[in-house]
Amino acid sequence: MQTLYRILKYHLKVSAEMIVCLTDKIKDWTNVVVAYEPVWAIGTGKVASPAQAQEVHANLRDWLKTNVSPEVAESTRIIYGGSVTGASCKELAAQPDVDGFLVGGASLKPEFIDIINAATVKSA
């Protein structure tokens, strides 16, 4: 757990007040989705670069692999949130460890359909 705290603290660049880890209480990981939302990106119009998002997501998946199981790491969806738009979604979705999005403002605009369709980028 301490390692996850350090990973998140490093990436978030903030003094994380508290990271609550419930991995020992989760019985069924198929019900879990991990969301990474950099606080500076939420509702600001500043989206993480694809490389930034990929780096954090890969670290989170590695953490799951080490601390839960390789199977859970492989199957758990790790989604990104923070100013995703129709313009940024395809490149983000193409990153190997970005499995989807948590969309706020853009979900109210016509471009939301482009964000939904970005889910097919890796299979295209």
Which positions lie near ligand G3H, rule CB under 6 A?
Answer: 37, 42-43, 81-84, 102-106
Find, among 112, 113, 119, 111, the residue nearest to 90 by Cα. 119
* CB closer to ligand G3H out of 76 and 83: 83
Strand partners, 35: 79
Q: H-helix or E-strand containing 79?
A: strand 77-81
Task: Return the number of the residue (57 or 73) whose C-beta is nearest ligand G3H.
Answer: 57
Select 64 or 79, whichever has its Cβ closest to ligand G3H: 79
CB of 13 to ligand G3H, least distance (A): 17
Contact 101, 81 (CB under 8 A): yes
- Minimum CB separation of residue 89 from ligand G3H in Å reads 11
CB 52, min distance to ligand G3H, A: 15
Cβ-Cβ contacts under 8 Å for 44 (sequence gap 6 or more): 82, 83
